Structure 1
Amino acid sequence: MAHPESVHSEVKPKILYFGTPVVLISTENADGSFNLAPVSSAWALGHSIVLGLGEDGHTLSNLRSRPGLTINYPEPHLWEAVERLASLTGANPVPKTKPAQTTYRADKFAAAGLSQQSSVGVRPPRVKECGVQLEAKVSGISPSASGEFAIVECGVEKVHVRQSLVIPGTQHIDPGRWEPLIYNFRHYFGLASPTVRKRRAGASSRTGTSSLTGASRRSFSQTSQLPLPAGMPHNQSCDSRIPRCFRRALPGAVRDSGP
């Protein structure tokens, strides 16, 4: 008899969010003010970041006219700020294609409870609370096959990292201290302990198995089940045997359309 873990079933999930870092995208509006939107479809190719944005999104509209942007990586403790942005749009009037609960908000930094931090080479500000911030400019926009989304390639021009996350005396981010907010099938997760150090990582002079830093130990043992807002149930689908899961069942989802 086959072991249960070796048996596969064909499924038809509504979405294919297998777990990617959430980013907060800051762009410039036509009147010179700034928009802020959460996006979960973002990945790196060398020194470019590729974004998947909805064609009806205000972020995409801004980038078609004004290509400067900042890409900010929130840490797990900022998940509520990210979620506060999920049902907001910077477009007025609200596009008819948006979900019914979508509302217009001019100052989305304030709505999220986040702070603007001036950028060096682009107009849109960075998000001060984020430990990793990228300044970038759009280098290409392509339509997706379905026509619902745009694939936006952004050339990164400057990388700003909180000093405590940088390995002293190097240009490397310490992967034992840096912890992105992960969006996994419409639930937010943090990272747990590292396993082994990859030979190609080149992030530090350490060799062999990664040491479990204090931050990682806390992530694994203490923050595996964080307190939830009042009245919010635990995510029943999260396996209680997996301490890496932040058991948060959140209403709605990060809007990939870049409201």
Structure 2
Amino acid sequence: MHKAVDVKVLYFGTPVVLIGSRNEDGSANVAPMSSAWWLGDSCMLGMGDDSQTTANLRRERECVLNLASSSMADTVDRLALLTGSKEIADYRLRQGYRYEPDKFAVAGLTEQAAELVRAPRVLECPIQLECVVEAHYPFGTPEPIATAFQVRVVRVHIEEELVIPGTHYIDPVAWDPLIMKFCEFFGEGRNVRPSRLAEGWNMPHALRDAAVH
């Protein structure tokens, strides 16, 4: 029997993307997100309007979508409550966000130059998509609180072991993406680690687990 529920978060499960972008002073920014979907050579990205990445994409009109593998959950979690913006909204402060100008260093990631855009790649990510911003649209009602970015992939970089030999196809068995599902990290069909983001959003997983044990 189905039950009508006022679900707090509609985050059913999408790949974690580390978006590389350039700040206004030219320094590198990297931010985790998972509101993304692809069609052909284009992708739609959903970003909150108070994000430094949103400001960078609007200004620079380019980015790199670095897709994280499930083994990178610890690394991604170190970025979860960091922001490249000095101005932090009150609700984010309550969730535990703090300003960090060098997120690559804090996360233990390696900045890698892209070939067609100025935005940085992340060396540790096995899939890297260089993109240009084609358009962006306000998102949310009654007042927009986010921006939907339409980006076009202009170059793809793939770790060799993920490519089926003799083809230009990614091996779906070899590729194990990190998935964000209801603010928790999943990979290989299991919850790979607790998430700081889930704690910041007061998700009830800890209460559920405590009840089980």
TM-score (norm 2): 0.88
| Equivalent residue for 1:125, pick from 75, 98, 120 | 120
Partner residue, 2:69: 75
| Equivalent residue for 1:168, pick from 165, 171, 181 | 165
Partner residue, 2:50: 56
Aligned-residue offset at 1:254: 10
Aligned-residue offset at 1:252: 2.3
Unmatched segments (≥5 aa) in structure 2: 201-213
Larger radius of gyration: 1
**Number of equivalences:** 197
Partner residue, 2:132: 137
Equivalent residues of 1:138, 1:155 under 8 A apart: yes
TM-score (norm 1): 0.73
Distance in 2, Cα, partners of 1:67 & 1:60:
10
Partner residue, 2:205: none
> 2:13 is matched by which residue type in structure 1?
G
SS at 1:137 equivalent: strand
> 1:117 is matched by which residue type in structure 2?
Q
Distance in 2, Cα, partners of 1:66 & 1:107:
19
> 2:139 is matched by which residue type in structure 1?
S
| Equivalent residue for 2:103, pick from 92, 99, 108 | 108
Identical residues among aligned pairs (%): 43
Instruction: Compare the two structures and name the one with the higher helix fraction.
Output: 2
Equivalent residues of 2:73, 2:192 under 8 A apart: no
Specify whether residues 247 and 180 from structure 1 end up closer, same or farther in structure 2 by C-alpha distance, changes over 3 A only: closer
Distance in 1, Cα, partners of 2:184 & 2:76:
12
Partner residue, 1:212: none
Equivalent residues of 1:53, 1:149 under 8 A apart: yes
Q: Over aligned residues, Cα RMSD in angstroms?
A: 1.6
Distance in 2, Cα, partners of 1:83 & 1:45:
28
Moved over 2 A (4+): 93-100, 246-255
Instruction: Compare the two structures and name the one with the higher strand fraction.
Output: 2
> 1:170 is matched by which residue type in structure 2?
T
Distance in 2, Cα, partners of 1:143 & 1:66:
18
Specify whether residues 176 and 254 from structure 1 end up closer, same or farther in structure 2 by C-alpha distance, changes over 3 A only: farther
Distance in 1, Cα, partners of 2:93 & 2:3:
32
| Equivalent residue for 1:94, pick from 88, 96, 102 | 88
2:24 is the alignment partner of 1:27: no
